[in-house]
Amino acid sequence: MSTQPLSNQPRPMDFESKSMRSNRARRTATNYFVSGLCILATVLVILPLLAILFYLIYKGASSLNLAFFTHIPAPVGETGGGMANSIIGSGIILFLASLMGIPIGIAAGVYLAEFGRGTTLANAVRFTADVLNGVPSIVMGISIYSLIVIQQKHFSALAGGVALAIMMVPTITRTTEEMLATVPHAIREAALGLGVPKWRTAISISLRTASPGIITGCMLAFARVAGETAPLLFTAFGNQFWSFKLSEPIAALPLQIYVYAISPYDEWHRLAWAGSLVLIVLIMVSVTLVRIFANRGVLKGGS
């Protein structure tokens, strides 16, 4: 009886190699498929943003000139004019909002992550932040109108800054808490083991380690309130002239865009598109500059 040569018989390693190759091919195909889905999702998110940006450039770029950045709005029926006072007014209101909202938001986040874990007060602060994060902006404007504007008996830039600051606080608070939660406990324990007080550990170790994420949260909050119109209608109210006093009504770019957009004049519609483009560009530039400084270590305490 003849037997098949041993060298021609299939070996277990051959079956194992085929199985490994099949698994590798399946994993590679799955990897490419999921990567393609991620790329597709990214494109679907970016395309509307690019479409809005390019449409704003198409509609508003032709209306930008030196007068737009140096002149105040022209009277009704006259051509020309600009939004110089609105640009400065938006800068003042956003500066006030950041000056009040960012420290409060970061302090609340530090308390939630470092000192108030599991306490009733921390749960109440966290719940309040989540609720405020979902409150419509017009409700915030009406609230500040009742608390500040009616008491002062006039609109003011300060009231507008307070309204936007309150809207910034929840986002910054929750972002700060989440970013501090990512800091390893071993770092805190090492600092405490060296005799560093807990408050100093939170400020010098935890905050500095989590600063990139906290800065991102501050930028998100800033970008969110920079284009808000409803709260400013009840607080800053707007102004067609130059105004730098915090106790008086002040112009703001979103307010001026709103007034021009609902008007029946084509000239004002043209300026509204230009103002929208400038508002988007100012937000993008400010956020980009903060990100550049953060990456270079200026805002992280690096050298």
What would the DSSP string read from start to end of 21-79? HHHHHHHHHHHHHHHHHHHHHHHHHHHHHHHHHHHHHHHHGGG--HHHHHSPBPPTT--
Res. 5: pLDDT tops 60: no
Domain holding 145: CATH number? 1.10.3720.10
Residue bearing the bigger pLDDT, 252 or 63: 252
Question: Tell me: the pLDDT tens digits for 186-208?
Answer: 888 888 888 888 888 888 888 88
With b meaning 16 or more CB within 10 Å and e meaning fewer, what string describes 79-118? eebbbbbbbbbbebbbebbbebbbeebbebbbbbbbebee
Distances (CA, A) of 13 to 9, 10, 16: 12, 8, 5
- Residue 96 located in a structural domain: yes
- Residue 242 located in a structural domain: yes
Strand partners, 81: 73
- Residue 77 located in a structural domain: no
Res. 256: pLDDT tops 90: yes
Per 3-state DSSP, what percentage of the chain is helix, strand, and coil (rounded to 5)?
Answer: 75, 0, 25
- C-alpha dihedral sign at 93, 94, 95, 99: positive
Mean pLDDT, rounded, of the chain: 86
Compute, in degrees rounded to 10, the torsion defined by CA atoms 127, 129, 133, 138. Answer: 110
DSSP label at 243?
-
Res. 14: pLDDT tops 60: no
Strand partners, 237: 250
- Residue 287 located in a structural domain: no
Q: Give me the number of domains the chain comprises.
A: 1
Compute the C-alpha angle 240/161/169, nearest 5°.
Answer: 150
- Residue 215 located in a structural domain: yes
- Residue 4 located in a structural domain: no
Structural tokens at position 193: 């083991």
Q: Which domain holds residue 215?
A: 87-252
Residue 210: name the closest of 188, 241, 232, 191 by CA.
188
The C-alpha atoms of residue 270 and residue 279 are separated, in whole angstroms, by 14
Q: How confident is the model at residue 289 (pLDDT cuts 50, 70, 90)?
A: confident
What pTM was computed for the model?
A: 0.81
- Residue 167 located in a structural domain: yes
The C-alpha atoms of residue 129 and residue 169 are separated, in whole angstroms, by 8
Please give the single-letter amino acid code of residue 103.
Answer: P
Residue 237: name the closest of 172, 296, 156, 139 by CA.
156
- Residue 216 located in a structural domain: yes
- Give me the pLDDT at residue 291, please: 75
The C-alpha atoms of residue 204 and residue 114 are separated, in whole angstroms, by 13
Res. 257: pLDDT tops 90: yes
User: Which class for 248: exposed (0-12), middle (13-18), buried (19 or more C-beta within 10 A)?
Assistant: middle
